[in-house]
Chain A
Amino acid sequence: MKILLAYLAVLAGTLSLAAVVQKTVLAKTCWCWPPAPHKGGMAKAKFESAEYVASGSFGTEADWNNADHVYALNYSQEQGRRVFSQQCVWCHADTTPAGPSNRSNITPDPGLLNDSAVLSKVNDESLHKIIAGGGSGVGKSAMMPPYGATLSDEEINDVIAYIRVIAAPEVPKPANNAKSAGE
């Protein structure tokens, strides 16, 4: 009887020890990407350099005005980047996948989408209207064709989300806040 009791006591002790280990040690296992050694439990991983902006985001894009500034893109912005590079880049950027831009062939000049002076004057709704209805739809030059029948509403919203990133205007930093601006 004594033997059985002793055995059960030891077994209970071992199992509770295992439970404690599971609660403390295994709970600290890192589930995030990229794997980084974590100090202090579930502490958020620290990303010090631009390449780590990629971690946990759907894609990255360097600010067109400041290549050192790399932004993490969310899902919508990443899809916007895809649509932009297929449809918009030809006339609304200075360099294109084919080389030179088509901008110079068009009068009036299409707005450069990394020009925050142009973009900060228009809200998302007007942007949506001009992309879907074309220049003639809002009383501007018909050089901008309508994309309402080609792109879905969601894709147009994605493009807008994306172009808001590439032209993010510099935000003056408050004196005692060292966190990065424009996020």
Chain B
Amino acid sequence: MLRLEARPAPSQRMALLSPLIAIAVTALLAAVLFAALGKDPVRGLAVFFFEPLNGLRATSEVLLKATPLIVIALGLAVCYRANVWNIGAEGQYLLGAVAGGGMALWLTANGIVLPKVLSLTLVLLCGVLGGMFWASIVALLRDRFNASEILVSLMLVYVAQQVVNYLVFGPWKDPGGFNFPQTRTFDASTWLPPLIERTRLHIGFLLALLAAGLTWLFMFRSYRGFALQVGGLAPAAARYAGFSSRGALWLALGVSGGMAGLAGAMEAAGPLRQLTPHISTGLGFTAIIVVFVGRLHPLGIVAAGVLLSMMLIGGELAQSRLGLPNALSSVFQGLLLVVLLASDTLIHYRVRGARKVVAG
């Protein structure tokens, strides 16, 4: 019989190994699942983990999909470290797309063609503000009414989806679009420039890496970031030290809302170049997994963002190459997180053989 024994101090080694163990175990379980479905397990794993990176085009797609995941997750990491549980990043992402897209539409409709640097800055800035606005509703309700940020942020996701629907079916519908629900295509001056020619990868990826660096600086080298984390770890100590928990709440939600909004604007101005009812693909929720697999650390988040992007694309490929159902990808994501959480216990506990407990 095995027993768990608390370690005197958390194991640094396990903190690094744990995600790798989790990935390995998930891969193993995946292989078993493939075999049970009558598919070649090696080929199955190859499709999920290697095919997505096969060649420049494919890799660019992985990085393209990872970009919004990383940006949203960075914001969430700041939030969760402050113990503010923003589950509604999806909604803030949508509002960011609406705000940024709205600005792009306004420029397009009025024929205003600015130098790209200027127009992009405007669009992305609007995205950030849009996301921050949506998150500030959550902050307000928690600040003034004590309402749980988990529930409010989640409910606002559904509301955000309807806002998008309303705009795209109504006031923002493309007049030349045969009454179909989509906006005009944005003017070329508002498109994010490509990073690699002939791929869809745009400079947003660089922005994401930059954001990771800035987040690292904020979290580990700035006073505010430090105060935020202390507030999350030990609220009483933070209060004693004079760190305002109210300030922390607004800062945490502002940052995570702004980042999610930025990601939304980048998607609208990047691959989509218009607004449709389909800008919402659950990225805001997948980003939550990225945060945890990335151990709430900016570098880890970049790695985890790429990993999860691979898994998502792998799931698509598994359909067309192996005939496997689309749901498999969510199964693996959920499995990865569950296994990760389980293997995380090894950071705090050692596995030991049972000892006889002597009475007394």
Q: Do A and B come from one complex?
A: no
Q: Which residues of B contact A (CB under 8 A)?
A: none
- Chain A positions within 8 Å of B, measured between CB atoms, are none
